[in-house]
Amino acid sequence: MYPNLLLPLLGVLGAALLTLLLVAVRKPVVRRLALRQVARRRTEAALVVTGSVLGTAIIVGALVVGDTLNFSVRQEAYRTLGPVDERIVSTDPAAGRAIADRLQPLAADPHVDGVLTAEVAQAAAVNTHAAQPVAEPRVLAWQLDFDAAGRFGAAGGPSGLAGPAPAPGQVVLNEPLARSLKTGPGRPVTLYLSGHAVEFTVARVVPQQGLAGAGLGGRVNRNAFLPPGTLDAPGAGRTYSVTLVSNRGGVETGERLTGPVTAEIRSALGPDAGRAAVDTPKHTVLDQAAATGDALGALFLMIGSFSIIAGALLLVNIFVMLAEERKTQLGMLRAVGLKRAHLIGSFSIEGALYALAAALPGVAIGIAVGWGVAVAAAQIFRSWSVDGSGLDIAFAVTPTSLVNGAALGLVIALAAIVATSARISRFNVIAAVRDLPVESGRRPRRRRVAVSTALSLLCALAAVPALARSQAEQTYLLPALAVAFAVPAASRVMPRRAATSIAAALVLLWTLAASVIRPRVFDTPSMAVYVILGTLAAFSAVVLVSENQHAVLRPLRRLMNRPTQQGIATRLAAAYPLAKRFRTGSTMVMYTLIVLVLVLLTEISGIMNASIDQAAADATAGYTLRVDYNPQAGGPSPLTGLRTGPLARQIEAVAPLLQARGQATDPGHRTTESLETAVVGVPDGATSGIAFRDRLPGLPDDKAVWDALATHPDYVVLDNFFGHTGGPSGRFYAPGDTLTLTDPVTGRAEPKTIAGVLNSGLAFYPGTGSSATVYPLVMGEQAVRTQFGPQAQTAAALIRTTPGTSPEDLAGQLQGSHLSASLVATPIAADVHRLFAANTAFFRLMQGFLALGLLIGITGLGVVMVRAVRERRRTIGVLRALGCQARTVERSFLWESGLVALEGTLLGAALGVLTTWLMYQKSSAFTGLDGGFPVEWAQIAVLAALTLAASLLAAAGPARRAARIRPALAVRLPD
């Protein structure tokens, strides 16, 4: 993923490593100091490498997931298109033959690698398996020249359909159809062509690839390839004429010639251009694949970014503790003349060696993490579609992602190490040599105050236009930075703790209130705003608590004052978090960040589960089934059977839907590409119960919108996902906005005004296996007939069943009764429940991915405890010599770690619930989820309990080691 980042990342990394290499070569003393510490401090080296490995693994894992999703989405181009780059479709066979003649000279064009004309009809199929009929109502029956198909696009690779044509009475099936019918070579199968049953024997089954998987826009196409002349016979019914064009090059390289070849096609059609639709399916699929894959990959990278921050904090914590442990040594080095820059260089070289050692293991673990996520995602995405075709996940990884992940991990590690080294190199030499405590309460220098005040004013000024435009990232970040930069100035007129606490409280308040003041901040496809929101909330809350630990721990004061072993253990457990606020705070932030996002995902899942019934009601408005059928099948219309047939007693009402294929501009102005649109014409008054999220001013209720739709041909209604290809669904358009709707056959374009945005448009999505990027656009019935003419056909209906009728049972009966019409019945409420279940599973997957960040936090706490035992060795010896029991020492370490983990977990849980509630109130991503805001107490409690238990387990080893320290040796030996 992100090939555009490759060169900048490598440039930054190369410059950093080259600088460190020059320092190491030109400053032998600095180099020897770094190498000596690496050789002597093997435990510290292992801890730092572990932190770097986890951080790199999270980054690489997120990028590998992006690669996998991107590759999986692109596979649609291989399965359903192969060498097909352009598709010219005509509903009139006579016109199709004339068009094919006009396009045949294109075969000699240097940009073109093949031109193939085929006839296709919509059919149904049935087979008997284990004495039971197995039916498939949606089949594409193709008639083409197999010899020409085998040569089609051969220069770019196999066409996907080779071999001899089926003999009379035989048929070639592709794998999806054979799997659906549970049949294979040599077995009989019945096809319904225009309502007439025709018996065939399966000649062979071909993989779903290229021409064998081709269709007219479906994600999964169930194809039957007929003997020559089958569709030319009398009674074969209406067929489509399809001319396929292959550009020079492979499946993806040929797409680059789409523009010039399309222009040549339109020129070759001449006066017949109005009798055919010219599609560029591969260009559309690959563009949408890139957008969808990038959006899903960015989502995982956003989730992983919190773990990355935790990993960086772990590195900072380790180096701060190393510096404190080496304080006397560093003071001696400075006293004998080592410059501060050399000290920074020594630490940086040491850290760079650790980071480089972690790169390869981090990449390897990241690949394993990505593979695990891909395996879990495969089960989820198969059911994440209205038509059930889902998305087949195929694991993939690119060298670009591996290099990006390793480079980004190294850059973050080096930045954390250099920044920490610069901070810890600022110490008083005499105090360091004598191991005196760091002076606190010093007023900041005037230069620092002047610079920070100027930065504060600049951020405040820049925040004004950002707030006015509701620019998401800047709205949160700039005011927070303005407050943070004002702290040094405030510290000169009030105590530093008071200034820091007030600033942290203001940042926390702004982070939580920004979406209330500027509710459109979430109307952005960017994931960065959520990272900024979570990070600001966690850091500001932790700073506020860390600076006021005395007040937070006041309830424990009575226990700490008791003259018992428990009282001593409690005092010891609280003493170091109070004395080492930076160390405690950085550890606590790791917990707060991860738990905040875990709770946020838990709450979102709870909101979705609580809204299922309301979402089903919004989607159905009383209609329980949607049926799609082939209007060209011949015989009586299925609508007649629905109203008067043997199943009519189970049906209360039928609302026929007029359908046409269109192209629309994006009303949200997110893309300049035309959007494939399923235009739906609804009868006057039939759908007045379907509710709207937003309505055009002047239309007081939902019924008024539907009435306006019937009387105003320029009005349309959409749902919230029109033009959506991934990421958060903000309010990118509203009633009153306009778009242009085009008939791709005639080229007739008309401006349309959005009269309303539906709460749920699920009932209007095609139930026939169309691509997930075909968006419904609803109009009045007469308006559709006027613009689209003969192309508009009644091919679907909404059904309201009688009380007590099972929609699932009726769906099966309807499909069996109207198999010859290729009728597909979809229970709408069941689809809502299935999609909600898939979304919930997806959030569980992200929680599992984020749990790696919690592992980093727990590891960080364990590292702090390991270093604390070493750092307090002499103190522990003195306590033991004075009579403190070993069990008391062990308890103090366990309670200290438990206190830090508990504070971080409680802060994260509280912020997670509060942040989700504010987003639920203001973010359009929750539109249509009206089931209320449940607090998932049980799941949050389990999460907190598991986190606390794991933290205590991580601290158990260091605590036992502290309890076993021998007083005499500890008092006498410093190391």
What is the total count of domains within the chain?
Answer: 5
CA dist 901 → 549, 556, 573, 595, 915 (Å): 14, 16, 12, 11, 21
Q: Is 530 helix (H, G, I), strand (E, B) or coil?
A: helix
Beta-carbon contacts of residue 636 (< 8 Å; ≥ 6 apart):
none
Is residue 914 domain-shared with residue 809, that is, in the same domain?
A: no
Is residue 496 domain-shared with residue 372, that is, in the same domain?
A: no
Domain boundary among 782, 799, 822: 822
Is residue 74 domain-shared with residue 92, that is, in the same domain?
A: no
DSSP code of 782?
Answer: H
Contact (CB, 8 A) for 66 and 401: yes
Angle at CA of residue 643, ends 639 and 645, nearest 5°: 95
Beta-carbon contacts of residue 904 (< 8 Å; ≥ 6 apart):
542, 587, 588, 589, 590, 591, 592, 595, 857
Contact (CB, 8 A) for 255 and 85: yes
Residue (of 405, 305, 418, 395) closest to 362 by Cα position: 405
Quote the CA–CA distance of 860 and 857 in Å, as a whole number: 5
Residue 548 domain-assigned (yes or no): no
Annotate 765-777 with DSSP letters as a single string. S-SSSB-TT-EEE
- pLDDT for the residue 388: 46
Residue (of 664, 51, 7) closest to 318 by Cα position: 51
Residue 969 domain-assigned (yes or no): yes
Q: Is 283 helix (H, G, I), strand (E, B) or coil?
A: helix
Residue 542 domain-assigned (yes or no): no
DSSP code of 218?
Answer: B
Domain boundary among 779, 805, 822: 822
Burial class (CB in 10 A: 0-12, 13-18, 19+), 324: middle
- pLDDT for the residue 143: 92
Residue 553 domain-assigned (yes or no): no
Is residue 274 domain-shared with residue 295, that is, in the same domain?
A: no
Q: Is 824 helix (H, G, I), strand (E, B) or coil?
A: strand
Contact (CB, 8 A) for 619 and 565: no
Quote the CA–CA distance of 940 and 923 in Å, as a whole number: 23
Residue (of 525, 453, 451) closest to 490 by Cα position: 453
Is residue 568 domain-shared with residue 644, that is, in the same domain?
A: no
Is residue 368 domain-shared with residue 461, that is, in the same domain?
A: no
Is residue 155 domain-shared with residue 269, that is, in the same domain?
A: yes
Is residue 292 domain-shared with residue 355, that is, in the same domain?
A: yes
Q: Other CB atoms closer than 10 Å to residue 563's CB: what's the count?
A: 6
Alpha helices (runs of H) in 382-471, residue ranges in sequence order: 399-424, 429-433, 446-468
Angle at CA of residue 721, ends 673 and 297, nearest 5°: 75
Is residue 522 domain-shared with residue 637, that is, in the same domain?
A: no
Quote the CA–CA distance of 945 and 951 in Å, as a whole number: 10
Residue 62 domain-assigned (yes or no): yes
Domain boundary among 279, 296, 315: 279
**Residues of the chain predicted below pLDDT 70:** 1, 41, 44, 234-237, 325, 381-391, 427-428, 431-444, 525-526, 634, 725-730, 767-773, 924-925, 927-928, 970-975
Residue (of 639, 874, 667) closest to 753 by Cα position: 667
Residue 836 domain-assigned (yes or no): yes
Torsion of CA 232, 236, 242, 244, to 10 degrees: -70
Quote the CA–CA distance of 602 and 435 in Å, as a whole number: 47
Is residue 287 domain-shared with residue 269, that is, in the same domain?
A: no
Quote the CA–CA distance of 954 and 496 in Å, as a whole number: 34
- Report the DSSP pairing between strands 738-742 and 749-758: antiparallel
Is residue 273 domain-shared with residue 306, that is, in the same domain?
A: no
Q: What is the pLDDT of residues 120-161, one digit of tens each?
A: 988 889 988 777 788 888 899 999 999 999 889 877 778 888
Supply the range of the domain harboring residue 673.
630-822
Amino acid identity, residue 702? D
Q: Is 708 helix (H, G, I), strand (E, B) or coil?
A: helix
Is residue 384 domain-shared with residue 266, that is, in the same domain?
A: no
Residue 375 domain-assigned (yes or no): yes
Residue (of 409, 223, 213, 225) closest to 311 by Cα position: 409
Q: What tokens were used for 21?
A: 């290499």
Residue 900 domain-assigned (yes or no): yes
